[in-house]
Amino acid sequence: MPSISKENYLKAVYSSTGGGGKTVTTSKIAGKLEVSNAATSEMAKKLADAGLMCYEPYKGIGLTEKGEKAALMVIRRHRLWELFLMKVLDLSWGEVHDEAESLEHSTSDFLIDKIEEFLEFPRFDPHGSPIPDKNGELPRMPKLIPLFDAESGKTYRVAKVTDRSSELIHYISELGIGLSSKIVVIDKLSFDQSLRIKIGDNIHSFSKKITEHIFVTENSNKDNR
């Protein structure tokens, strides 16, 4: 099994590029993992030697087909653990990410397949992200837009929240926001690009930084109830 650091690099590159041979700068990966550019370049060389990454100095880094499959298996373990911890152990929406970060590196394929079977082969994790199957295939996602790009006067449903910030998850949970929550966009302030939204009977103001991490689908007429 690859070391934890190698798995984190593979996952970071995949999350930044979406795979498919696309590349990302070493500085962006260094910033995501909070390590130096030199350390990122050194790891990229090692992963390239292992056939997991494509790396040319000053030209960015990307994943090989083998590297993309490895990254998807790490993501698979992470997202299945999140769902298991929430459904079975009753951890909160905001608690599961950090725990899954540790468990994803020490779980065998056998155990993760058993967890998937126990959970009845789920397609999405608690934050709305797709769960790769054992072959690395992802389920089809609905068309999502960042809440930041939502239009005033329209109604939306929350479909995904990026889980990198437990603080954000805790905050929106306290406001009663979860997956499938209905949000009405009242208006966007040109001064700071913040949104005023209505959730139930309450009105809140969300900063641009928050709305860039919440993804929604447009509410159909039959859902307006």
> 199: domain range?
145-223
Q: Mean per-residue pLDDT for 42-70? A: 93
The pTM (predicted TM-score) of the whole model is: 0.84
Where does residue 18 fall: left (phi above 0), alpha (psi -120 to 50 degrees), or beta otherwise?
left
The per-residue pLDDT for range 175-199, each reduced to its tens digit, is 888 889 999 999 988 888 899 999 9
More confident residue, 56 or 165: 56
pLDDT of amino acid 196: 94
The per-residue pLDDT for range 64-110, each reduced to its tens digit, is 999 999 999 999 999 999 999 999 999 988 889 889 999 999 999 99
**Domain assignment of residue 69, yes or no:** no
Pair 216, 168 in one domain: yes
CA distance linking residue 183 with residue 67, whole number of Å? 38
Residue 2: pLDDT above 60?
no
The per-residue pLDDT for range 158-172, each reduced to its tens digit, is 999 986 667 888 888
Domain closes at, from 139, 162, 194: 139
Pair 155, 198 in one domain: yes
Tell me, what CATH number does 108's domain have? 1.10.10.10
**Domain assignment of residue 68, yes or no:** no
Structure tokens at 2: 């690859």
Structural domains in the chain (count): 3
Pair 59, 97 in one domain: no
CA distance linking residue 161 with residue 63, whole number of Å? 25
Burial of 145 (0-12, 13-18, 19+ CB in 10 A): middle
CA distance linking residue 170 with residue 183, whole number of Å? 18
pLDDT of amino acid 164: 67
The per-residue pLDDT for range 117-141, each reduced to its tens digit, is 999 999 999 999 999 999 999 998 8
pLDDT of amino acid 225: 45
